[in-house]
Amino acid sequence: MKKIITFWLMSILASTAPALAQATASNPGFNPQEILRNALEWVNSLGAIGGIAFIFIYILATVAFFPGSILTLGAGVVFGVLWGSIYVFIGATLGATLAFLVGRYFARDWIAKKIAGNEKFSAIDRAVGKEGFKIVLLTRLSPIFPFNLLNYAFGVTGVSLKDYFLGSIGMLPGTIMYVYLGSLAGDLAAIGTGNQPSNPTIQWAIRIVGFIATVAVTLYVTKIARQALEESINK
């Protein structure tokens, strides 16, 4: 499995190398936002196949801890709200899943060995695994939790790949909102700058949904952790 994941990582890197090479050449200093903005310009010049290139770039950016917000906003400019949301959701879901698998097959065994002798931690890990879909769904609805880091973090928990993948549907509302905000800019040069147009209603909607999801996931994880500890103590 490790060899398969490594193969896919190398394939994605090779597929997106032209965009990253062009972006880096036009911007010698390492500036992730500027690199991604230049990559979006390259995608915009590809015409019909731009969507496929965008998805591969989003996957690589997710695995490499690049800020996905620039790509999400840029998708609104390049593809519009409908197709931009579709491409972002596909790229983010596949990228997050690949990062999850990297965390699962390169770090999970080490974590499992560390908690093997601690029944309390093992109980919490099992409890989180059983409720994986709900936890992933709620964290995806909340912008408080760092997207890129969370992908790897879930990989070292007991959450199943199925629950993790299905829970990614929680990214959809935020994806549509941010792609819409990006579409208001109308120009890639304005993405991520103070000159980017905004919609206060959409921004407040994102904050409210994020706040509710953050409170919900915090209370829920606390509840199942407490129950797991009580079961462990009573054994």
Tell me how many domains the chain contains: 1
The pLDDT, as a whole number, for residue 59 is 94
The pLDDT, as a whole number, for residue 163 is 92
Instruction: State pTM to two decimals.
Output: 0.74
Mean pLDDT (10-residue bins), the chain, 235 residues? 49 48 51 85 91 95 88 92 95 94 79 61 69 84 80 85 92 88 77 61 70 73 64 55
Q: With contact defined as beta carbons under 8 Å apart, do 35 and 24 qualify?
A: yes
The pLDDT, as a whole number, for residue 235 is 56
Distance CA 22, CA 39 (A): 7
The pLDDT, as a whole number, for residue 84 is 95
What is the residue-wise DSSP string for 27-44? --S--HHHHHHHHHHHHH
- CA–CA distances in Å: residue 91 to residues 22, 189, 220: 21, 22, 28
The pLDDT, as a whole number, for residue 183 is 86
List the domain range (segments joined by +) for residue 163. 2-234
Q: With contact defined as beta carbons under 8 Å apart, do 62 and 151 qualify?
A: yes
